[in-house]
Amino acid sequence: EDQVTQSPEALRLQEGESSSLNCSYTVSGLRGLFWYRQDPGKGPEFLFTLYSAGEEKEKERLKATLTKKESFLHITAPKPEDSATYLCAVRRGSQGNLIFGKGTKLSVKP
Partner 1 sequence: DAMVIQNPRYQVTQFGKPVTLSCSQTLNHNVMYWYQQKSSQAPKLLFHYYDKDFNNEADTPDNFQSRRPNTSFCFLDIRSPGLGDAAMYLCATRTSGRSTGELFFGEGSRLTVL
Q: Would you tell me which residues interact with partner 1 (CB under 8 A)?
A: 4, 9, 31-32, 34, 36, 41-46, 49, 87, 91, 95-103, 105
Q: Which is nearer to partner 1, 16 or 93 (CB)?
A: 93
Query: DSSP assignment of 25-89, as one string?
Result: EE-SS---EEEEEE-TTS--EEEEEE-STT-EEEETTEEEEE-SSEEEEEE-S--GGG-EEEEEE
Q: How far is the CB of 60 from partner 1 (least distance, A)?
A: 18
Q: Which is nearer to partner 1, 10 or 77 (CB)?
A: 10
Q: How far is the CB of 89 from partner 1 (least distance, A)?
A: 8
> Residues 2, 57: contact at Cβ < 8 Å?
no
Q: Which is nearer to partner 1, 57 or 61 (CB)?
A: 57
Q: How far is the CB of 78 from partner 1 (least distance, A)?
A: 21
Q: How far is the CB of 82 from partner 1 (least distance, A)?
A: 19
Cis peptide leading into residue 40 (ω within 30°): no
Q: How far apart are CA 62 and CA 88, in angstroms?
A: 14
